[in-house]
Amino acid sequence: MANETGHTKIGRPSWNNTVDALRPVSAVAPLPPGDVETQFYVSWGGSDVGSGVRDYTVHVAIDSSQYSVWLRDTPAVSAAFAGERGHTYAFFSIARDSVGNVEDAPAVPDAQIKIRDLVGVGEANEHVFALKGVVPNPADGHVRVAFELPSWIPGALDLYDVAGRRIIHREIGGLGPGQHLVSLGERSRVEPGIYFVRLRQGRSIATKKIVVAR
């Protein structure tokens, strides 16, 4: 950048004569369908008129939460991301050019991926409504519940204690047809004891007594 007397203050060999007032543009590339792998590669790229792209800051939002910075000021254009089953991840990138112009955040994410809770493959088959139980059985503190859904109708998975109090509630609307394995104790482990798991989707309801062991 040049000062008033025309002397160059910052010695960038490839960019030292003209003022670059134009912001760069960038985007995260589309992501693959998240049916199987919990780890995937995110890649992005951009361009800039003037001084050129210096680096990128990549943001991520989990399940429609607020965006947070995943990678800050990185010159890289791809990185591995480790997600978890049953969650949706949305990404966008912000490019910065070599004189410090920063791209505006987009109104919608550049790319999104949903990592499904699939137990097996075979989505082409007909599926039924079925609560199969916990895996392993008796359950550990994570209480992984295996079930099958026939449709995309919204539903819920609930865990009740023997006194009938609901301990955990989990929406399962986005899972869709297929075999699923969902952990109810992923945020805080469930104490040992006897519980009831209730699966509900539309008018279908199934309940199973389970044991959580130490």
Residue selected from 20, 55, 103, 110 as contacting Ca ion according to rule CB under 5 A? 20
DSSP 87-103: EEEEEEEEEEETT--BP
> Is residue 50 a contact residue for Ca ion (CB under 5 A)?
yes
We find the least distance from the C-beta atom of residue 12 to Ca ion, in angstroms, to be: 13
Q: Both ends of the chain: CA-CA distance in Å?
A: 65
Q: Which of 151, 147, 112 is nearest to 130 (CA)?
A: 147
* Residue 97 touching Ca ion (CB under 5 A): yes
* Using rule CB under 5 A, residue 25 touches Ca ion: no
Residues in the chain: 214
CB atoms within 10 A of CB 69: 11
Q: Tokens standing for 130? A: 């079925």
Q: What is the DSSP letter of 51?
A: S
Of 10 and 22, the one with the shorter C-beta distance to Ca ion is 22
Q: Is residue 48 near Ca ion by the rule CB under 5 A?
A: yes
| Contact region with Ca ion (CB under 5 A), list: 15-23, 27-35, 84-92, 196-204 | 15-23
- The DSSP output letter for 106 is P
Q: 125 near 57, Cβ under 8 Å?
A: no
Instruction: Give the total of residues touching Ca ion (CB under 5 A).
Output: 6
For the bound state, the minimum distance from the C-beta of residue 179 to Ca ion, rounded and expressed in Å, comes to 50
Which residue, 20 or 55, has its beta carbon nearer to Ca ion? 20
Residue 102 within binding range of Ca ion, rule CB under 5 A: no
Contacts with 208 (C-beta within 8 Å, 6 or more apart), sequence order: 131, 133, 134, 196, 197
Query: Shortest Cβ contact with Ca ion: which residue?
Result: 50
Site for Ca ion in 125-184 (CB under 5 A): none
H/E element, 170: strand 166-171
Question: In this chain, which stretch among 46-54, 70-78, 175-183, 198-206 interacts with Ca ion, using CB under 5 A?
Answer: 46-54
Question: Quick one: 20 or 117, whose CB is closer to Ca ion?
Answer: 20
The alpha carbon of 107 is separated from its chain's Cα centroid by a whole number of angstroms, namely 18
From 34-42, 43-51, 108-116, 127-135, span contacting Ca ion (CB under 5 A): 43-51
- Which of 22, 36, 79, 211 contacts Ca ion by CB under 5 A? 22
Does position 55 interact with Ca ion (CB under 5 A)? The reply is: no
Residue 11's SS3 state is coil
Q: Would you tell me which residues interact with Ca ion (CB under 5 A)?
A: 20, 22, 48, 50, 97, 101
